[in-house]
Amino acid sequence: MDKTKKIGVLLGGSSTERAVSLRSGAALLAAYQRLGWSVVAIDTQFGRELPAQLLAHGIEVAVIALHGPMGEDGSVQGLLEVMEIPYTGSGVTASALCMNKLISKRFFQQMGIATPAWEEVRLAPGDPDALSRMVADLTPRWQDKSFFVKPASAGSSVGIRRVGQIEELAAALTAAAAAAAQPGEAAEILLEQEVVGAEVTLSILDGTPLPLIEICPVEGFYDYLNKYTPGKTRYLVPTESLSVQDIQGATDTGLAASQRMGCRGLHRVDMIVDRAGCAWVLEINTIPGLTETSLAPKAAAAAGLTFDALAERILAGATRDLSCANKLPHSF
C-alpha cells in the first residue's frame, strides 16, 4: 500500500468500551506514526459527524479500533461501504453477527460448533415487576447450576456477573440490563452455563492462527478489572494445562468458528477447554483490544511479530465487502 495514502484510525465511540477503544486506537496511531504513514485519529463519539470528518481529512483507508455497539457491530463498516472507503477487520455481516452473543449462539449450534448451554431473556423497561417475574421464571431451570449472566451486545466483560447461588440472579440481571439497555428498548440478556476447564483464546490474523493463550486470573473470573489491570491475570503461552492434542483441537475449533462466521483480518475466538478436551466457543471478537494488557498483541509477540509489524499487517488487510456483505455464514 502506498504510504502517501491518508489513514484514519477510528477510535473512542460512544459505547461502554470507549476507554478501551481510546487506548487501542492510540497504540495503533503511534505505531503508524513510527512507521511513517500519513495518519490521523478520528474520534467517532458523535456519529452524525463521522462522514464529514472522513471527508474533511481526506481519509482513503480506515483502521477501525472501535469496540462495542456503533463500531464493532457492522454499523460503521456499513457507512464505510457506502462511502467507498476500505477498512480493516471483518465486514458488515460478520461484524453484526459476532457482536450479538444470542445470534452467535444460534449460528454456532446450527453449525455444530460446541457452545455452552444458554437461554435468552429480555428485560422490559418501565415495568417495576418485570425483574421479580423473570427471577421466578428462571429459578427452576437454573437454581442448581453455576452460570454467567451477560449483556447480549457488549464486550470487555462489561456487565457480566457469575452466579454461583440463585440468590445472586436478580443483581446479575440488573447489572447486565444496565450494560445492555438502549433507551426505550428491552435489554437483551444471555444466561450461559459455566463450563469448568481452561479458559483460552485464539487470535487469528488473515486466516492464520496465532499461538493459543491460556488465561488465568489471580482471583475470580476474567472480568473487566482482571482484563485491564496489570498483574491481575497471568497469560500462559504456551499453555500449561492442555495437551498437544487439546491445543490442536481448540485451534481447529476456533478456526472453524471464524471461517464459518465469515470473519477476516485480526479477530479473536474465546473458548473454554473442558477436562475431556472439548473446546467450547464462547464468542468471537471481531475487533480485539490492542492495549498493553490485551491478548492479541501477546499472541502476535509469541509468533514473533512486534506491535508495529502487527499494526502494519492489520492495515494491509484493509478492504471493502460489497461482494459478500449480504451473504450468510458459509454453512447456510
Catalytic residues: 17, 156, 228, 268, 270, 283, 285, 289
Q: φ, ψ for residue 189 (rounded to 5)?
A: -130, 145
SS3 state of residue 65: coil
What cell numbers appear for 40 in the block?
A: 490521523
- List the beta bridge partners of residue 193: 147
SS3 state of residue 270: strand
Q: φ, ψ for residue 246 (rounded to 5)?
A: -65, -40
How would you class 304 by CB atoms within 10 Å of its CB: exposed for 0-12, middle for 13-18, buried for 19 or more? exposed
What cell numbers appear for 136 in the block?
A: 421466578
Using an 8 Å Cβ cutoff, are 68 and 155 in contact? yes
CA 3 to chain centre: 29
Helix (H) / strand (E) element for 297: namely helix 295-302
Per-residue CA distances from 217 to 16, 23, 91, 228, 235 (Å): 22, 22, 32, 11, 8
